[in-house]
Amino acid sequence: MSRQLVALLATAGLLLGGCATVSDTIDAINPFSSAGPKMTPLAPFTATAEVRTAWSASIGKAGDYSFTPAVVGDAAFVASRSGSIAKLEGGKVAWKIEAGQPLSAGVGANGRLLVVGTSKGEVLAFSAEDGKALWQAKVSSEVLASPVVGDDGVAVKSGDNRVHLLDLGDGGRKWVYQRATPPLSVRGAGSPVFADRYVFVGYPGGKMVALAIQNGAPVWEGTVALPKGATELDRVADIVAAPVIDGRLICAVAFQGRVACFDMGQGGTMIWSRDLSSVTGLAMDSRYLFVADDKGVVSALDRQSGSSLWKQDKLKNRKLSAPVVQRGLVAVADAEGIVHFLSREDGSFAARQKTDGTPVRAPLKMLGNAVLVQTTGGSVSAVEAQ
């Protein structure tokens, strides 16, 4: 097993699941250890933007899981490993409940419903208005990715890489999609994405699939990465993070693979691809596609051609979150709970803000003009820069 690969998987906060022939080796990996290359020290810089924490609240620790806030209008819905779930408005708790059992994923929400998952494969739904329990459903295995609430149902990707569409009203199963997966894959927390008439989902082996919302049938399949190498570990090339969509353009990135963009209006025709590996994900605006790679390098690519526009390499090995774009700035957070704001135009440092000092594994979210950050230590902060 490559030491470099072991270190990457350990520091990324991911687990491996695979065939019995490698299970002893895999069990020896501690995915949440501090092993791996030393983080690059942060160098001083001259700030070009003003930054402040508008508010901060506490929800509870994430443990060995990743919890992503859901933003609906001016409200943020958050959850923790212990089972705490809360609705925050302006940083104040509108309501808070206890699920009564440990959680492993969340939150998915719309204006009426919020949904979380457990390591036992249970999906729990509550009223977004007051937190009242509404229904409970069961999927085929643990839920690591936040469920997604759409107009046609709740999409849940379980740990065995099946996608379940559940009824909004009672959690009844509408359909399940499953496919063969490689003997070894990264256990990630990339959620499905609703767009138009489809549910898009990334898979081990580097495939992105468009499923018909009506019946779960695969409509088209895009190859983001092709497994290559002599060993099963070398051949891991999985889409771990959720794809991003803007208009007809959909883009995804794979671990040990590529970033690729497709035209949904042309049946998933690939527009471009380039070699790049990431376990956290992408952000996109009207011109650029932004990605934080496995080494902690943040890149801006032209969304139409994939050509490189700039790179920021002074955050190497800092275990960066997926980026978001905010007011001409690109924000990423790191393993010390620090939010870094980079210039959208050239990648230079514009501002920096500390949170609670614990890692940020979950993707950042936008809440109005603020970047919403949930740390593994349990703090939820709205950070503004301008």
Contacts of 239 (CB under 8 A, 6+ apart): 190, 202, 203, 204, 206, 207, 208, 224, 225, 252, 253, 254, 255, 257
105 and 12, same domain (yes or no): no
Please state, rounded to an integer, the average pLDDT across all residues of the chain: 90
- Of 181, 212, 245, the position where a domain reaches its end is 181
Q: What is the mean pLDDT of residues 334-355?
A: 98
Write the CA distances from 158 to 53, 182, 230, 340, integer angstroms. 35, 16, 29, 32
Instruction: Categorize the per-residue pLDDT at 8 as very low, low, confident or very high, splitting at 50, 70 and 90.
Output: very low
Q: In sequence order, which residues have a C-beta less than 8 Å from that of residue 20 and are 6 or more positions away?
A: none
Q: How high is the pLDDT of residue 227?
A: 86
Asked, for residue 314, whether it belongs to a domain, the answer is: no
Instruction: Tell me, yes or no, whether 103 lies in a domain.
Output: yes
Decide if 170 is inside a domain. yes
- 84/33 same-domain check: no
Is the residue at 95 inside a domain?
A: yes
| pLDDT tens per residue, range 66-93 | 999 999 999 999 999 999 999 999 999 9
Residue 39 amino acid letter: M
Q: Which domain holds residue 140?
A: 80-181
Give the residue ranges of DSSP H helices in 308-371. Answer: none
pLDDT for residue 21 = 30
| pLDDT above 90 (res 12) | no
Query: Which sign does the torsion angle of CA 30, 31, 34, 40 carry?
Result: positive
Say whether both 96 and 163 belong to one domain: yes
CATH of the domain at 103: 2.40.128.630
Is the pLDDT at 162 greater than 50, yes or no? yes
DSSP string, 33-45: SS-SSPPPPPPP-
My answer on whether 88 and 169 are in the same domain is yes
- 209 belongs to a structural domain: no
**pLDDT digit string, tens, across residues 17-64:** 443 333 322 322 333 445 678 999 999 999 999 999 999 999 999 999
101 shares a domain with 25? no
Domain membership flag for residue 278? no
Q: What percent of the chain lies above the pLDDT cut of 70? A: 91
Quote the number of domains for the chain.
2
254 falls within a domain? no
Same domain, residue pair 102 and 175? yes
Asked whether residue 377 is assigned to any structural domain, the reply reads no
Phi then psi for 265, rounded to 5 degrees?
-75, -15
